[in-house]
Structures are given as C-alpha cells and as structure tokens.
C-alpha cells in the first residue's frame, strides 16, 4: 500500500514530537506546588517517562529510585514523614527534572458527594450562602491548610490524570471563595488543623445532583453480588452521563487513587433517596458498602476512615413536588444510612436532624456544624482524642406496664431535652400497627414512651418522618439518631 507524499511528510515531522511527548517525564495533576503529603504513612509518587528511564524522587532527606516500565509507568514509595509546616521541595529527576515547592506534611482527606458537599461558603446559583458567610470567609486565612478542587468531568474509561482542577492552593479568603470550595470540607479541615496543630490537605471531588453509582469503582460493585452487574465497563453503546455507573469515578476519582490520604468524607444520598416509582432507594446501604469497599481497595491503604453525613430533613413527599414514594421514605433511608455505619468498620455518620433551617430547602445552610460533627468523628475514632463524637443511638427497648422503655448507647453526659421542653417526635403502636403521637419522658438513662390510645405498645418510633426535627440530645450537645423498634406489622 502506498501512502501520499504529504502524509509521509507530516508523519515524519510529527513522529519525533510524539515520541518526545511520550518520553517526557510527567506526573499526575494531583502532584503540584503547595500540596500536603500524608504524615506517618508511605507516600507513593508515580508518573510516566521513557521506557527503562531511571527516575529518582527526593523529599525531606529521602531519595528513592526506580526505572520506568515498558509502558512508561513508574512508581516509588517514599518512607514515612513526620508532620511539618516547614515548606519543602519534592524533586523528581529523570531525563529532565520536575520540582514541586512549598510542600507540607500533615493530614490529607478526600471530600466527595453531591451538592451539599459541593456547596461553598458563599452563595451560588439557586442556593443561599452558609450562615455567617462574610465573616467566615474573612477569617479563612490558614496558610497551612491546602485545598485542591477537581472540576466536573466524565469518562468512559479510567483516566490517569485530571484535565480540570484548581491545583493546590493555600487556604485564604480569596482562594476558598475563588475555587468555590466545599464549606463542609473546609470547616472539617479547619477543626482538624486547629486541634492537631498539623497541616491539612483537602481534596474536593463533588458534583451536585449525582447518585452514588457513578462514584463507585468496578471493584466495589463486584464485592456485592446483587450489584455486580453495575461493574460492566462503559462502551460505545452506553450513554455517558453523570448518572451512569463508573462515569464519574473514571474521571474524578481514579486519577488520584494511590495518593496517600488519611481518609474520606462523603455527603450524598438525596439523589438516591428520590424516586416515586420503585424501591431502589432500599439498596442504598449495599451501594454505600460498595463505594467504601471499592475506594479502599483501589487506594490500597486498607480500611481507611470513611465518615459520612446523614441527609437532612426535607419535604420530599409533602413539598410542592412529590419526590419520593411515601411519607416514610426519608426515615427508611436514614435507617439504611445508620445500618451502613454499623456494619462497616472505621465509619461513622454525622446526624443532621437539627440542622435544617428551611424544610423547603434541600441545602441546609449550617455547614459549620456539619464540618464540626465530621471532625468529632475523626478526632475520636481516627486520632484517638477524648471527645464525644456521637449522639444517643438506640440500644434496646422493653415493652412493659403500658410503656416502651428505650435504652441508648452514647448517652454521654446523660439524655437531655434540648431547650428543656417535652421530648418530641416519639410515636408508639399497638398490635394493630397504627402509630400515634406519644408522650416521652427521660427517666434516668432511659426514655419512657406511652400514649393513652395504645394500652399495650408493641412498637416505638423516634423521628420517623421527613420533617422530624426532634429535641432528644446527649449532654455533649449531639442529637439522637432516628429509629424504629418492636413489632411493626
């Protein structure tokens, strides 16, 4: 076969540059000036170079070397470093040199989910700003907190680098606002930074309105037999959309897998809760398990901490638009989130039943409290600090003497009624299964629940409604989780 002379001439001109581009020393976009490296853990550094090329990585007195494989990929693992706010340089040398400056060592967390994680401190289209936005932004100058935001993009196959990102930025009023960085993640990071007195790196990868399936890697779906079919690769016949399983993971998570981090934060569920024609929302606990297990597997760090946020009270059923199947859908979804927190190791859920300032707004404005409660989970469970990180959680119930006597775990400081009024949002049912509002009284370490209409209670519920904003807390100021217990026929 003969090729036209013009084609041959162009090929001859392009070939050297193509080879050069392949051979050029490069790293994923997650590596850059101003980044934070994870303390007290091996730190993988990887990239591409000419096949066989020797590559050396130097940081803080350590140098590790390797050779690029036949496909050009290379990887070294630096040893553990102590936290340090003294800026250093990471130098990668091969046929050429890459130098990253102003590098700190501390705690690195990934923050992901949908619009409530994406919500910045300042206002954005269709949303109000968080509370005290102006003052919070004015005070947000923390040079030892570094932020990195991954912009929205999709991919049919797993990507190796990020086409859209802010790069690493030192946290300031301007950078936090300019990047429209996650308010919940910032408030979390600020508390970790000020409590531990170490640098903090925050990587945000979020997308409003998305379900959990697009964020999950194939390895996660494959762990759950009922979900294994969702691990099928995206082909030319599949529609590439932010609702498609794998599509966001491929583009916005896969390129950073392996970057050393302490753990992940997750604020999502509204989109999976919604739907008026089926019971798909009932699979959420399994899907959350697939996400957590999948991310842990692809990162290769073991069971790293994973803390998530309970979606807040909202008029899904009672609002102007009916978004869910029944008035109980949200309460059932809360139970699934709680279930996932119980069965997955090194996880925890921040309860938000008291944080909805407007039941017609799916974006509660108090993201400072969300970040605080996530930080309490991390400080207690990950960092071993002696702080209370959970509100009261249902332990057991005994039906006796016309009452439901409920015991709780995590009643630190005792059970209390916030504001001092009667306890709210308790209901009981008898053998007929019909729940009615009930009186509830704190008696020692229990809550006694009864109703005149129900002589012999057989079941009890707490905060089992989408608009529930109950007042049962512990002495540490954290709200109780919703629950239902007993015979619910």
Question: Domain map of the chain by residue range?
Answer: 105-382, 393-486
> How many Cβ atoms are within 10 Å of 1's Cβ, its own excluded?
2
Which residues are CB-contacts of 313 (< 8 A; sequence separation ≥ 6)? 330, 352, 353, 356, 359, 466, 467, 468, 469
**Residue whose entry in the numeric block shows the structure tokens 């978004």:** 323
pLDDT at 3: 40
CATH assignment of 105-382? 3.40.50.1110
Contacts of 45 (CB under 8 A, 6+ apart): 27, 31, 57, 64, 75, 76, 77, 78, 90, 92
One DSSP character per residue, 255-322 reads GGTTS--SEEEEE--HHHH-BSS--GGGGHHHHHHHHHHHHHHHHTSSS--EEEEPPPP--TTTSSS-
pLDDT, averaged in runs of 10, over the chain (489 residues): 38 39 84 98 98 98 98 98 98 96 98 98 93 97 98 97 95 97 98 98 98 98 97 90 96 98 98 94 98 98 98 97 96 98 97 98 98 98 98 97 97 96 97 97 96 97 98 98 88
In this predicted structure, what is the pLDDT of residue 156?
96
pLDDT at 466: 98
CB-based contacts of 444, cutoff 8 Å, min separation 6: none
pLDDT of residue 13: 43
Structure tokens at 145: 């907190």
pTM assigned to the model: 0.94
Contact 433, 488 (CB under 8 A): yes
pLDDT value at residue 444: 87
Q: What is the pLDDT at residue 236?
A: 85
Burial class (CB in 10 A: 0-12, 13-18, 19+), 99: exposed
In this prediction, residue 238 carries a pLDDT of 86
């Amino acid at each position: 076969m003969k090729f036209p002379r013009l084609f041959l001439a162009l090929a001859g001109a392009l070939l050297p540059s193509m080879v050069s581009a392949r051979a050029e020393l490069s790293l994923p976009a997650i590596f850059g000036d101003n980044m934070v490296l994870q303390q007290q853990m091996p730190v993988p550094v990887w990239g591409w170079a000419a096949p066989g090329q020797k590559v050396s990585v130097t940081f803080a007195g350590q140098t590790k070397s390797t050779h690029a494989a036949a496909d050009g990929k290379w990887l070294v693992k630096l040893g553990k470093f102590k936290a340090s706010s003294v800026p250093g340089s990471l130098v990668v040398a091969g046929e050429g040199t890459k130098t990253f400056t102003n590098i700190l060592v501390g705690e690195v967390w990934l923050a992901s989910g949908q619009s409530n994680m994406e919500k910045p401190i300042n206002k954005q289209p269709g949303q109000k700003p968080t509370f005290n936005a102006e003052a919070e932004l004015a005070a947000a100058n923390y040079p030892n907190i570094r932020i990195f935001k991954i912009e929205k993009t999709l991919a049919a196959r797993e990507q190796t680098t990020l086409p859209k990102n802010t790069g690493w930025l030192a946290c300031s009023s301007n950078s936090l606002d300019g990047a429209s960085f996650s308010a919940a993640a910032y408030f979390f990071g600020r508390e970790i930074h000020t409590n531990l007195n170490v640098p903090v790196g925050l990587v945000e990868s979020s997308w409003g309105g998305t379900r959990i399936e697009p964020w999950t890697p194939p390895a996660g779906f494959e762990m759950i037999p009922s979900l294994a079919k969702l691990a099928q690769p995206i082909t030319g016949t599949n529609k590439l959309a932010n609702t498609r399983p794998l599509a966001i993971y491929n583009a916005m998570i896969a390129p950073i897998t392996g970057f050393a981090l302490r753990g992940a934060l997750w604020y999502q569920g509204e989109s999976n809760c919604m739907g008026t024609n089926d019971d798909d929302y009932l699979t959420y606990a399994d899907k959350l398990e697939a996400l957590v297990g999948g991310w842990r597997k692809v990162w290769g760090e073991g069971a790293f901490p994973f803390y998530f946020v309970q979606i807040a009270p909202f008029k899904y059923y009672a609002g102007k638009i009916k978004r869910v199947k029944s008035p109980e859908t949200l309460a059932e979804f809360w139970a699934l989130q709680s279930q996932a927190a119980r069965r997955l190791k090194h996880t925890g859920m921040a309860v938000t039943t008291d944080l909805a300032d407007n039941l017609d707004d799916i974006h509660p404005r108090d993201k400072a409290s969300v970040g605080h409660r996530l930080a309490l989970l991390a400080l207690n469970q990950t960092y071993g600090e002696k702080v209370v990180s959970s509100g009261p959680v249902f332990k057991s119930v005994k039906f006796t003497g016309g009452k439901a006597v409920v015991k709780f775990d995590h009643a630190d400081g005792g059970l209390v009624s916030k504001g001092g009024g009667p306890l709210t949002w308790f209901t009981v049912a008898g053998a007929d299964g019909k729940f009615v509002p009930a009186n509830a009284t704190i008696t020692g370490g229990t809550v006694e629940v009864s109703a005149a209409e129900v002589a012999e209670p057989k079941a009890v519920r707490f905060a089992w409604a989408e608009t529930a904003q109950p007042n049962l807390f512990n002495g540490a100021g954290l709200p109780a989780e919703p629950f239902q217990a007993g015979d619910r026929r």
